[in-house]
Structure 1
């Protein structure tokens, strides 16, 4: 090996991203780079093994399909994927990562054959930190800052998802929108800081009392919404009434320092085959809520 070849090999070895030369049958023919210590074993141990030798069949099948598509199109492909301890065996006696690692792969067809097989260069860049940051930012964008429950933006996303399921599979779902009655008197009597704490207490109380599949969101101000999957309108009404009764019995003295009980008014609606969009469902639930207020509050009204 001449000086230039030695220098090139040293440079490739020190690259932070792990690179593999993989054949069209998924065999590891060469490994390069991978100086990044976030990798959990030496890629040299993979040489001669196949994707199916070292990872679960579904994941190996998926990777092999990406390789063959890159070769068939003769164009680079990119892929985001995760690896965890159960995906890769402890080839050198060291177990895989306890936490899930995320990678961005660049799959580039090569012109060279190895043992008569076509090959690709698979470069895996560890993107775990950026992936986690993106998830955190997404979570922050979907949570209400005051109460910690989902916000209106997330509510709309959930409703659109269930609406698509209703249109395609006729899976029923319902919506409750409720408003804390005379909440302004809480702010006037105890101040806005106490009012905020009362809203947090109500949100926590409601969340603990709902079914596991239900989703509680802050709709705005002192209004909240509950999405009820696989629930018809007639089934949603008693759920809304139990929620109303539960909040009416909630003792808020720990928040306010004085006797304080509150009631809610609630509007219930269910997705209908005639609904053209989510906004139609929301409008019916809103109208039912305002009917409940007009009828004296502390009650549930449904528009089905």
Structure 2
């Protein structure tokens, strides 16, 4: 190649090779800077995890046997489970209406969902406080549904925070379903309800389960809207984040760190489950055709 470069007019031997090496050095510099920044980010994020583990592991046994911490854990699990089921029940038809129908004011609804996602959670809690402190809320209380400063308010706080998130995730899952399959089913006489039940839901099964898991995890960690709507009353409206808040407020940092470690373990477990559910099928399972191809290739090498 160098001989050809030397034969070309106006080109010195080895000039192209030196230029390639120069570009390689520039590429290496960029890669080095990227890795340095990534290392700083990982150290920053990892230091928070290490601080929680280092501060909470010594008092973890005390926390998991504390009546107050166990109450807050049960409150978080129960309210998160209820609000997550409600989120999925409401998100499925809403996402279908926004993605598969000519719903009036669809664009306004989409903007409203995006706006709710961007609002601070404490502001959403304040909005709920205004709603349930109005004559409408008082009528609900007289009917037996007390929300403000009551455990039921925790469910509503988690719902207002997580519902837009669940709708967005379900819409993303629906967008991955092939429109051609739906069209063929409709040409064969299937109703929209049949298409939803037999095509869309089975195709989105893993994504919907992952949405359930992540929404549940977000509910477990919700604090801002809950604090504004129901406050934090010991052994009444105390969730895990509320327990951490109360422990820090009273100077009991050891219990706070141990409770934070419980939340860290729960978050890690939900992350593992969500990643397993989102793993491509081909990454965990080899089809019969692929196995046969591998066996054929092996026999070919053998002979």
Q: TM-score, normalised by structure 1?
A: 0.20
Structure in which a larger fraction of residues adopt strand: 1
